[in-house]
């Protein structure tokens, strides 16, 4: 193992072809829930308050009007997940001028579908990876998966100094929508969920290199609140995954996130005032506002999170990686706290230095 930080050399995202405008989603949702018109009228404000204008989907909008079972959902998940990860991974390697045969290990995160063999195995051919590449598939992290997955990829890179680790993440949240589910959580999902994938190239360099990293991951950690399973997650239903969202999430964030964050930073001899920025997973407009209040952030501090939410929606684990990509494209620099909340209920954190 090495104490050197894991360097990030490239961050790329990929999105499916179907673009959904929020106004069109609202119209279709009214059709789905037309058997409960009063209920939908009360809930319709969620679409305007979500902070989302457009999203990407691996299926056309009309697909969501009909019921679908596990076999169809799983087929669509496998096909689209592999295609998006292959696109993001190839783009990521090309941007860093790294050959597929140079990859020593992959870490693949996804929680919106299940396939066996796992996605990391199925991607070896499309990405041109060697048969002996080390593989780590991770399921069940939900929205926290972008930060936890990055942390695990950094840990793998630390155990393989000088070797390339490809971190891949894909979430097809739209495929989990079930028109038979009238719950508030399912309706909120139609207002925020989108599909996407991301890829990052990570290495702990052994010597000076002509490749300049774009960021470095120097520390990471998690906090899981006891007895909080019902706060966020999935239920396994006969026709797919049922979304679990507690209405208390914004209040929990406002009340509990700051002490957990302070503890993580103190363990790394830092305070919030030592940071140059915060890169957070934008779960939704209310959660972002709660984060701003809890961490005492200024209005523009979460601008990248809000812009990703506006343009891409909540893509679960992928979203915070898209926020990182946008910060790098904006030439942000300095020490940043990267954070996301997911099932558990868990806060995941990492220190990322943007170059």
In terms of Cα–Cα distance, which of 156, 62, 149 is closest to 103? 156
- What pairing do the DSSP bridges indicate for beta strands 54-57 and 18-21? antiparallel
First to last CA, the chain: 24
- Report the run of H or E that residue 148 belongs to, with start and end: helix 145-159
Please name every residue paired with 165 in a beta bridge, in sequence order, or none if there are none.
105, 202
d(CA 260, CA 268): 13
Burial 14-47, CB ≥16 within 10 A → b, else e: bbbeeebebeebbeebeebbeeeeeebeebbebb
Token pair of 235 as six digits? 């239920």
Residues annotated as catalytic (active site), given as ranges: 143
264, 228 Cβ separation under 8 angstroms? no
d(CA 18, CA 36): 28
- What pairing do the DSSP bridges indicate for beta strands 164-172 and 103-109? parallel
118, 127, 295 from 115: Cα distances, Å? 5, 18, 38
Token pair of 55 as six digits? 């999203």
d(CA 147, CA 348): 6
Please name every residue paired with 222 in a beta bridge, in sequence order, or none if there are none.
348
């Amino acid at each position: 193992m090495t104490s050197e930080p894991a360097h990030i050399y490239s961050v790329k995202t990929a999105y499916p072809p179907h673009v959904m405008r929020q106004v069109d989603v609202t119209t279709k949702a009214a059709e789905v829930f037309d058997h409960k018109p009063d209920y939908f009228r009360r809930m319709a404000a969620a679409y305007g308050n979500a902070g989302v204008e457009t999203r990407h989907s691996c299926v056309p909008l009309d697909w969501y009007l009909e019921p679908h079972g596990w076999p169809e959902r799983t087929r669509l998940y496998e096909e689209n997940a592999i295609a998006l990860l292959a696109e993001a991974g190839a783009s990521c390697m090309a941007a860093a001028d790294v050959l597929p045969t140079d990859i020593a290990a992959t870490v693949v995160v996804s929680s919106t579908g299940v396939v066996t063999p796992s996605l990391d195995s199925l991607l070896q051919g499309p990405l041109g990876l060697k048969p002996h590449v080390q593989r780590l598939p991770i399921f069940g992290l939900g929205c926290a998966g972008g930060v936890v997955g990055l942390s695990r990829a950094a840990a793998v890179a630390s155990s393989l100094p000088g070797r390339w680790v490809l971190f891949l993440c894909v979430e097809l949240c739209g495929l989990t929508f079930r028109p038979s589910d009238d719950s508030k959580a399912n309706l909120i999902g139609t207002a925020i969920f989108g599909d996407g994938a991301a890829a990052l190239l990570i290495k702990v360099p052994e010597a000076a290199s002509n490749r300049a990293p774009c960021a470095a991951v120097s520390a990471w950690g998690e906090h899981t609140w006891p007895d909080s399973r019902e706060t966020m997650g999935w239920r396994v239903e006969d026709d797919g995954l049922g979304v679990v969202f507690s209405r208390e999430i914004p209040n929990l964030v406002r009340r509990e996130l700051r002490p957990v964050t302070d503890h993580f930073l103190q363990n790394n001899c830092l305070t919030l005032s030592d940071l140059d920025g915060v890169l957070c997973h934008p779960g939704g407009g209310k959660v972002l506002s709660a984060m701003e209040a809890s961490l005492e952030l200024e209005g523009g501090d979460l601008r990248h999170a809000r812009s990703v939410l506006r343009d891409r929606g909540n893509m679960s684990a992928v979203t915070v990686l898209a926020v990182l990509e946008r910060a790098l494209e904006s030439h942000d620099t300095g020490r940043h706290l990267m954070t996301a909340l997911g099932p558990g209920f868990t806060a995941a954190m990492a220190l990322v230095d943007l170059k």
